[in-house]
């Protein structure tokens, strides 16, 4: 599998984590299962039969931020184009609470209606990955001109949790930002879909996945990310991914 990450333009960098491209060689078996693991990000995905010009668009999806692993049977695909949003992007761009997308898996036209169908047509007509990224960027930039739904305090809390890799107590966060835990939980869930404790777990899990290539073994990986011990690390990893760490990375090599 060839995997490529493309950074967003400056206008979108606070809303979009990255664009990504996944391509499997024609000699490899086409994918018929779409795997989902816990993520603090909301993703829009376009699945194609292959990466050739005028390739058939098989399906589109919006996967909301989730703390639950899942699998979806889909039409066989060998090429994916995706956009990974920070969860606060959807309240900001669409004026809806992030919690409405919690653990949701929807088609693009179900969520965006007519605009979703038009966007799909433009993506299908594009002749290159670069053009598809440009079309998507222009569409999301156009949404920034509309009314915005934001919360500066919550954005600062999110930044604090990410900086600490999720290793911070909620009572300390509430004290630092001079807000009650109840108010913090309500406002935080609107922009992330989760309470701070669950969000912190997901942030730490994402750090594990990101840091895996840089470590020697799972023991080192568990302590690097402040898990109590390896047994706790493995249990948490399986809860959030659906696989043991060994089986998860074996899957990525298929």
Tell me: the pLDDT tens digits for 127-156? 899 999 999 999 999 988 766 677 889 999
Q: What distance in Å separates the CA atoms of residue 136 and residue 249, rounded to the nearest whole number?
A: 30
- Residue at token pair 């490899």: 28
Report the domain count for the chain. Answer: 2
Average pLDDT over residues 229-247: 91
Final residue of a domain: which of 125, 143, 161? 143
Confidence category of residue 27, pLDDT binned at 50, 70, 90: low
Q: Please, what is the end-to-end C-alpha distance for the chain in angstroms?
A: 8
Per-residue pLDDT at 168: 84
Closest residue by Cα to residue 47 from 35, 59, 55, 36: 59
Are both 23 and 99 inside the same structural domain? yes
Dihedral angle sign, alpha carbons of residues 138, 22, 100, 172: negative
Q: What distance in Å separates the CA atoms of residue 169 and residue 213, rounded to the nearest whole number?
A: 28
Q: Domain with 158 in it: what CATH number?
A: 1.10.10.60
Q: Can you say how many angstroms the Cα of residue 38 is from the centroid of all Cα atoms in its chain?
A: 8
Q: What distance in Å separates the CA atoms of residue 7 and residue 17, rounded to the nearest whole number?
A: 7
Closest residue by Cα to residue 58 from 74, 35, 42: 74
Final residue of a domain: which of 105, 121, 143? 143
Q: What distance in Å separates the CA atoms of residue 167 and residue 169, rounded to the nearest whole number?
A: 7
- Residue at token pair 């954005």: 155
């Amino acid at each position: 599998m060839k995997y490529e990450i493309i950074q967003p333009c400056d206008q979108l960098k606070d809303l979009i984590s990255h664009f990504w491209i996944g391509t499997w060689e024609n000699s490899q078996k086409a994918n018929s299962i779409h795997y989902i693991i816990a993520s603090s990000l909301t993703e829009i995905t376009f699945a194609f039969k292959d990466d050739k010009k005028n390739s058939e668009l098989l399906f589109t999806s919006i996967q909301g931020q989730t703390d639950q692993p899942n699998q979806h049977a889909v039409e066989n695909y060998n090429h994916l184009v995706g956009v990974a949003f920070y969860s606060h992007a959807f309240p900001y761009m669409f004026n809806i609470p992030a919690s409405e997308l919690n653990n949701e898996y929807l088609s693009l036209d179900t969520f965006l209606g007519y605009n979703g169908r038009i966007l799909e047509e433009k993506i299908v007509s594009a002749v290159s990955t670069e053009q598809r990224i440009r079309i998507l960027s222009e569409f999301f930039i156009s949404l920034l001109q509309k009314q915005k739904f934001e919360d500066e305090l919550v954005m600062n809390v999110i930044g604090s949790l990410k900086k600490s890799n999720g290793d911070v107590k909620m009572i300390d966060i509430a004290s630092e930002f001079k807000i009650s835990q109840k108010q913090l939980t309500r406002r935080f869930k609107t922009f992330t879909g989760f309470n701070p404790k669950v969000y912190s777990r997901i942030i730490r899990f994402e750090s594990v996945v990101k840091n895996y290539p840089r470590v020697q073994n799972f023991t080192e990986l568990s302590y690097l990310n402040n898990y109590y011990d390896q047994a706790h690390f493995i249990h948490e990893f399986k809860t959030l991914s659906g696989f043991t760490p060994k089986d998860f990375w074996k899957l990525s090599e298929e």
